[in-house]
C-alpha cells in the first residue's frame, strides 16, 4: 500500500497538467475562432473595413434603388443638352460650388422657409441603399430650443477639450482659432439636424436593417450643401462629438435614429471671415486610366 | 501512513476545484474587460456607434475645414440673391435633381471629357474633416480595363449570390430583376471609381488619420451626383461588395485608399427603363421644431 502514494501523486500530476492544457487550449480556441471564420472568407468585408457594423453584412452591390418588392419598370425620360451646353453647365456649376465655404459667422436675419423646404426636398432626391431613404431632417427655428442645443453641445465640447482629447490633438488645436464656444448655434435662424435611420420596420413590424445608411445620408447631405449654396445660403458642416444621444432625446427622435450632422443655416454675418485655405488641383484628386 | 491516502485525495480534489475556478474566472474577466472600459466613458462614441473605427477617436466637431497649421483668415465674399430669386433658384434646383434616377442601361456613346473633369472638380469642392480632401477619383475609359473591372465584379458578385448571401436575401432578390450581370460596366464610356483615403501622411512621413473620411467622401459623391445630373449625364450608385481590394490592386492604388463607390457614367441607352419608385413626401422626411 505504501507504494500506492507515489503512483497516486504521479496520476494527480498528469491530471493537473492535462486539465491546464485543455483549459488553455479552450481559451486559445475561443480567441481564434472569429479570426478563423473571417479568414475563410478572405475577400468579404475587406473593402468595407472602414465601414460600419451594419455595412458588414451580405449586400448586393446593385441594391441601391430597388425596393423590397418587385416594382414595375417604366421608360426613363431624359433631358439631353448639346455638348457645348453640357460643358457650359458643368463649368458654371463648378464655379458656383467652388465659391462654397464653411462659414462660422452667421447673421441672425431670418431666411425664407420656402427655401429651406426646397433644399430639404432636394436632399431627399438622393439615392439610398435599397431605396430606404433613411434620413430625417429636423429643422429648428425656436430660439429657446436652439439655445438648449447650444448648451448641450458646448457642455460636451468643453469636456472633449478638457478631458477626452489626446494631448497631441489639444496641441494641434491651440494653433487653431477653434474652441467650444459655438455662437452660430444661437445666431443662425435655422439649424438642420440630420439623423440617419440605422434601421426601419418592415410590414410585419420586424426590424429591417438599412444597408449603407450612413453613406446614403452623407450623399443626401452633399446634395443639401449644393442646394444651400445654389440658393445663396451659408452653413458649416459639423458633427457634434458625443452629443448625439442627448440631442436625439431632447428632440424626441426615436431610437433607430442617430445624429449624423448639424448644419446651422443662414446668411453670413457682415464681418464673416474664412480661413484662407486652397483646394487640391484636379491632377491631385483625379487619375485617368 | 495508510491514513495519508484519503487526505492526499482530498487535497488533490480541492486543488482541482481551485484551478478550475481560477481559470474560469480568468476567461470571464478577459471577456468583460472591453465592456468595462467602454462603460467608463458612457457618452463617448455613442452617437458614432454606426460609424467607422476611425471615427471612434477624439474629434473636434468643428474641425471640418481647418488645416493642421494655423492659416490666415480672410473676409468671406458672398453672393446674395433677392428673396424671390432664392425661392425660384431653390425650386428649379429641386426640379432638376428630382429628375435624377439611378440608370442601369447606359449607351456606349462617348461623353465630353471636359464635362467629366468639371464634375470631378465640383465634387472636390466638398467640405472634409480637417480639410484633408481624402478622395481619389479614378476615371476609367480604356475598354480592356473596363472589361477586366467587370470580370472582377461579376466574379465576386456571382459568389455573393451563390454563397455569401443569406437565404432571406436571395429570396428577396428573386423578386427583383437584379443579378450579377453588370453590362453597364462595359457599355458606359466612363467608369468613376471613388476611393476614400483612410489615412494620409504628415510632413514627417508619419501616418495621419483622416477623420470622418467616409462621411467626407460620401458628401463629395453627393455633390458629384448633382453635378452629373446638372450636366445631363446618368449613372447608378454602386458599392461593389468584396471587390475593393482586388480593384484597388488592379488599378495600382496605394494601401491607404479603399474603394467607396463605383459610378458608371454616360447617356442612357434608348431602351432604358427605371423602377417606378416614388420618393417620400416632405412631411415624412422633415420635422420642424
Average pLDDT for runs of 10 along chain B of length 289:
65 66 51 37 31 36 52 94 98 98 97 98 96 97 98 89 68 58 95 97 88 97 98 96 95 98 98 95 98
Average pLDDT for A142-167: 87
Q: Which of B45, B225, B239, B261 to mutate to test the interface with A (most CBs of A within 10 A)?
A: B239
Q: Contact A104/A236 with Cβ under 8 angstroms?
A: yes
Judge whether A7 is closer than 8 Å to chain B, CB to CB: no
User: B208: burial class by Cβ within 10 Å (0-12, 13-18, 19+)?
Assistant: middle
Please tell me the distance in Å from B287's CA to the nearest CA on chain A.
5
Closest CA to A259 of A284, A236, A241: A241
Question: What span, in angstroms and rounded, lies between the C-alpha atoms of A230 and B193?
Answer: 27
Instruction: Identify the pLDDT of residue B148.
Output: 98
Q: What are A122's three cell numbers?
A: 432636394
Residue with cell string 455595412 = A55
Per-residue CA distances from B211 to A121, A262, B62 (Å): 29, 17, 12
pLDDT digits (tens, 9 = 90+) for A275-287: 999 999 999 999 9
Q: How is A207-234 classified by DSSP, letter by letter?
A: EEE-TTHHHHHHHHHHHHHHHHHHHT-B
Residue with cell string 431670418 = A110
State whether A288 and B119 contact (CB < 8 Å): no
The residue in chain B having the minimum alpha-carbon distance to the alpha carbon of residue A53 is B50
CA dihedral B229, B232, B238, B244 (to 10 degrees): -100
Question: What span, in angstroms and rounded, lies between the C-alpha atoms of A122 and A218?
Answer: 14
- What is the residue-averaged pLDDT of chain A? 82
Per-residue CA distances from A211 to A73, A197, B133 (Å): 23, 10, 25
Determine which helix (DSSP H) or strand (DSSP E) holds A136, and give its type and residue range. strand A135-140
Per-residue CA distances from B127 to A116, A121, B15 (Å): 20, 21, 64
CB count within 10 Å of CB A158 equals 13
Band (pLDDT 50/70/90 cuts) for residue A174 is low
Residue with the larger pLDDT of the pair A41 and B206: B206
> Does pLDDT of A204 surpass 70?
yes
Burial B55-88 (b: 16+ CB within 10 A, else e): bebbbbbbbbbbbeeebeeeebeeeebeeeebbe
Residue with cell string 481619389 = B136
Residue with the larger pLDDT of the pair B27 and A260: A260
Residues of B whose CB is below 8 A from A122: 90, 93-94, 97-98
Instruction: Identify the pLDDT of residue B167.
Output: 64
Residue with cell string 457594423 = A53
Q: Contact A175/B70 with Cβ under 8 angstroms?
A: yes
Q: Contact B200/B134 with Cβ under 8 angstroms?
A: yes
Instruction: Identify the pLDDT of residue A12.
Output: 65
CB count within 10 Å of CB B29 equals 10
Please tell me the distance in Å from B188's CA to the nearest CA on chain A.
14
Residue with cell string 437565404 = B167
The residue in chain B having the minimum alpha-carbon distance to the alpha carbon of residue A140 is B289
Average pLDDT for A264-270: 98
Residue with the larger pLDDT of the pair B66 and A217: A217
Question: What span, in angstroms and rounded, lies between the C-alpha atoms of A176 and B61?
Answer: 13
Question: What span, in angstroms and rounded, lies between the C-alpha atoms of B7 and B22?
Answer: 23
CB neighbour list of residue B281: distance below 8 Å, 6 or more residues apart:
none
State whether B70 and A46 contact (CB < 8 Å): no
Residues of A whose CB is below 8 A from B238: 61-62, 64
Q: What ranges do the domains of chain B cover?
A: 7-39, 102-273
CA dihedral B13, B15, B20, B21 (to 10 degrees): 110
Residues of B whose CB is below 8 A from A32: none
Q: How far is CA B55 from the centre of its chain?
A: 13
The residue in chain B having the minimum alpha-carbon distance to the alpha carbon of residue A128 is B237
State whether A274 and B76 contact (CB < 8 Å): yes
Residue with the larger pLDDT of the pair A12 and A227: A227
Instruction: Identify the pLDDT of residue A42.
Output: 29
Determine which helix (DSSP H) or strand (DSSP E) holds B213, and give its type and residue range. helix B213-231
Judge whether A200 is closer than 8 Å to chain B, CB to CB: no
User: A140: burial class by Cβ within 10 Å (0-12, 13-18, 19+)?
Assistant: buried
Per-residue CA distances from B128 to A14, A102, A221, B238 (Å): 63, 10, 12, 22
Q: How is A167-207 classified by DSSP, letter by letter?
A: HHHHHHHHTSS--S--THHHHSSEEEEEEEESEEE-TTS-E
From the list A52, A225, A232, which residue is nearest B86 (CB)?
A: A232
Among residues 86-125 of chain B, which lie with CB inside 8 Å of chain A? 86-87, 89-91, 93-94, 97-105, 112, 114-115, 117-122, 124-125
Residues of A whose CB is below 8 A from B272: 75-76, 78
List the beta strands (DSSP E) in chain B.
73-75, 135-140, 190-197, 199-201, 207-209, 257-265, 273-275, 286-288
Question: What span, in angstroms and rounded, lies between the C-alpha atoms of A126 and A222?
Answer: 9
Q: Contact A120/A137 with Cβ under 8 angstroms?
A: yes
CA dihedral A207, A212, A215, A218 (to 10 degrees): -20
Average pLDDT for A125-150: 97
Residue with the larger pLDDT of the pair B131 and A21: B131
Which CATH code for domain A84-271? 3.40.109.10
Please tell me the distance in Å from B154's CA to the nearest CA on chain A.
10
B73-75 and A273-275 strand pairing: antiparallel
Question: What span, in angstroms and rounded, lies between the C-alpha atoms of B162 and B156?
Answer: 10
Instruction: Identify the pLDDT of residue A163.
Output: 74
What topology is assigned to B102-273 in CATH? NADH Oxidase (3.40.109)
Residues of B whose CB is below 8 A from A101: 65, 76
Amino acid at each position: 500500500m505504501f507504494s500506492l502514494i507515489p503512483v497516486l501523486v504521479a496520476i494527480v500530476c498528469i491530471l493537473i497538467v492535462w486539465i491546464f492544457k485543455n483549459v488553455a487550449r479552450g481559451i486559445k480556441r475561443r480567441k481564434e475562432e472569429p479570426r478563423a471564420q473571417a479568414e475563410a472568407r478572405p475577400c468579404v468585408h475587406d473593402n468595407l473595413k472602414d465601414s460600419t457594423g451594419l455595412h458588414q453584412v451580405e449586400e448586393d452591390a446593385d441594391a441601391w434603388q430597388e425596393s423590397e418588392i418587385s416594382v414595375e419598370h417604366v421608360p426613363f425620360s431624359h433631358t439631353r443638352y448639346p455638348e457645348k451646353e453640357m460643358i457650359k453647365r458643368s463649368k458654371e456649376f463648378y464655379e458656383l460650388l467652388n465659391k462654397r465655404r464653411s462659414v462660422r459667422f452667421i447673421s441672425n436675419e431670418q431666411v425664407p422657409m420656402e427655401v429651406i423646404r426646397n433644399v430639404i426636398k432636394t436632399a431627399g432626391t438622393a439615392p439610398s441603399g435599397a431605396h430606404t431613404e433613411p434620413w430625417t431632417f429636423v429643422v429648428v427655428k425656436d430660439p429657446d430650443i436652439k439655445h438648449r442645443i447650444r448648451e448641450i453641445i458646448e457642455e460636451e465640447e468643453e469636456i472633449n477639450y478638457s478631458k477626452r482629447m489626446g494631448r497631441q490633438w489639444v496641441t494641434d488645436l491651440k494653433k487653431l482659432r477653434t474652441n467650444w464656444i459655438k455662437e452660430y448655434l444661437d445666431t443662425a435662424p435655422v439649424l438642420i439636424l440630420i439623423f440617419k435611420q440605422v434601421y426601419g420596420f418592415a410590414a410585419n413590424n420586424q426590424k429591417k436593417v438599412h444597408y449603407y445608411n450612413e453613406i446614403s445620408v452623407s450623399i443626401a447631405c452633399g446634395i443639401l450643401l449644393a442646394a444651400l449654396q445654389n440658393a445663396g445660403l451659408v452653413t458649416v458642416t459639423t458633427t457634434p462629438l458625443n452629443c448625439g444621444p442627448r440631442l436625439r432625446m431632447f428632440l424626441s427622435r426615436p431610437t433607430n435614429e442617430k445624429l449624423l450632422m448639424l448644419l446651422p443655416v443662414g446668411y453670413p454675418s457682415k464681418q464673416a471671415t474664412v480661413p484662407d485655405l486652397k483646394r487640391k488641383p484636379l491632377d491631385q484628386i483625379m487619375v485617368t486610366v
